[in-house]
Structure 1
Amino acid sequence: MQTPLIGVSTYMESDVRWGVWQHQAAVLPAGYHRLVQRAGGSALLLPPDSDEQARRIVSRLDALVVSGGPDVEPVRYGAEPGPDCGPPDPERDAWELALTRAALDQRVPLLGICRGMQILNVLLGGTLVQHMEGHRGTPGVFAEHAVRPVPGTRLAQVLPEPVSVPTYHHQAVARLGDGLVPGAYAEDGTIEALELPGDEHPFVLAVQWHPEEGDDVRVMRALVEAARTGHEAQPRSGAPAAREAAGTAPAAG
């Protein structure tokens, strides 16, 4: 069969330099596409676009990864920014909310990573803790801590034992979004994974840590296997039209 096509969200940065050039560019740390490849998928990088294009693009994917990054703007969950909240990026928020909504509407397997987990929670009506200590290292350096999967969850099937993970975040889930359940906890009680249980969606999993910064491919491999299962159930030639029909609800953002 064809290798599953895994879309990964990217974002805009100003003043990116290469050679003699300095321009605005859509960027993503290489760890993301390399992790997709190591797990058996083909990575397609997704620069910001419109809500309509998010629906069309997702209809052509076998799975979606929403990547990590800066803080979600608090207005997205009905809050005022606190003193430790980072600067907003409305374009990125809108793009990743639209991608996530399209994946949910069209039943495309979804993995959120760090910020991607927070996007999923906010999209479904949840809120965030705007600042916490102990889950990131010094600036630019990932910390590590243990996470404990919740027995009986999808994550526990992928990671049956507690595991040490690369981490760098200062925000976390506060109120859970509609339908979401915790998939793992840190030792201090912070929710470290979210998922949608039941049969309403083939695969929705999000983790607060950064698997692209480590050697453990199991979480990404689970996404790739879910993508492969969906690919086999619905051949590529018929996927766009069928998924497009499923994604007629307005995207968030």
Structure 2
Amino acid sequence: MTDERPLIGVSTYLETGARWGVWELEAALLPAGYFRLVQRAGGLAAMLPPDAPDRAAAVVARLDGLVVAGGPDVDPARYGADRDPRTGPPAHARDAWELALIEAAVAARVPLLGVCRGMQLLNVALGGTLVQHLDGHAEVVGVFGRHPVRPVPGTRYAAIVPEETSVPTYHHQAVDRLGTGLLPSAHAADGTVEAIELPDTDAWTLGVQWHPEMGEDDRVMRALVRAAATARPSRRSEGTRP
């Protein structure tokens, strides 16, 4: 019997010095909250470690949906900026791989959710820029905070979460100039863009600045999984998935 749950790929960290048992090696890592949220939302989760960017289209062709996970700061060179002293060290391999995944997903109309760094990379992939440091944000290392996020009426995000809601967050960077075609779909009280999306397309493309995998509200992930299940038959008929 075939399992018809959508296959959702989730990008991973690539870290040195990871330890388990007696081993200390380079490893592709993913906080468990991500795959558990995909599973809870009705999808099958697949981890996507960094690979050669020219393989991204082949990987995306085998997926029903894509999640670009949170992580380190995007290299400012990717959006033509000088490095702020408060910007973290670059993750060159991960930047290249995830930008290629995003471009492949947008081109193939594969439903895409960017989480925190993933939202920022989505903006950069479409020609946008980032604020490299927000004063007063992420002051306590490794501690998630919460703040309210207000949806923009008429957007895809507002259709999923129509009310103001408190979200788990940990970031010190944010969207500055929006990438081509992107619209803001949620804001924090101080005006920071908290969600972006591509409207009026066949594809389901959304980025959120917070971390849904750290909370109990799974509506955004459930919406991605539904979109992935809906898009799969049409993509198969068009020959875009094996």
- TM-score, structure 2 normalization: 0.96
Distance 2:235 2:107 in 1: 16
Q: 1:5-36, CA deviations, whole angstroms, 9 ceiling, x for partnerless residues? A: 00000121001111111110001111000000
**Among residues 77, 80, 83, which one is paired with 1:78 in the alignment?**
80
Partner AA of 2:211 in structure 1: H
> Where in structure 1 do 4 or more consecutive aligned residues deviate above 4 Å?
none
- Pairs within 5 Å for 1:1-253: 2-136=4-138, 138-199=140-201, 201-235=202-236, 241-243=239-241
Q: 1:30-73, CA deviations, whole angstroms, 9 ceiling, x for partnerless residues? A: 10000000111010000110122111010010000000011000
RCO (CA 8 Å, sep 6+): is it higher in 1 or 2? Answer: 1
Q: 1:185-234, CA deviations, whole angstroms, 9 ceiling, x for partnerless residues? A: 000000000000002x3200000000000000000000000001012334
Distance 2:10 2:76 in 1: 23
- Answer whether contact 1:137 1:143 (CA < 8 A) is retained: no
- Answer whether contact 2:13 2:71 (CA < 8 A) is retained: no
Distance 2:215 2:69 in 1: 15
Identical aligned residues as a percent:
63
SS class of match (2:240): helix
Gap regions ≥5 residues in structure 1:
245-253
Shift of 1:83: 1.2
- TM-score, structure 1 normalization: 0.92
Q: CA RMSD in A?
A: 1.4
Distance 2:75 2:62 in 1: 29
Gap regions ≥5 residues in structure 2:
none
- Answer whether contact 2:106 2:203 (CA < 8 A) is retained: no
- Answer whether contact 1:11 1:27 (CA < 8 A) is retained: yes
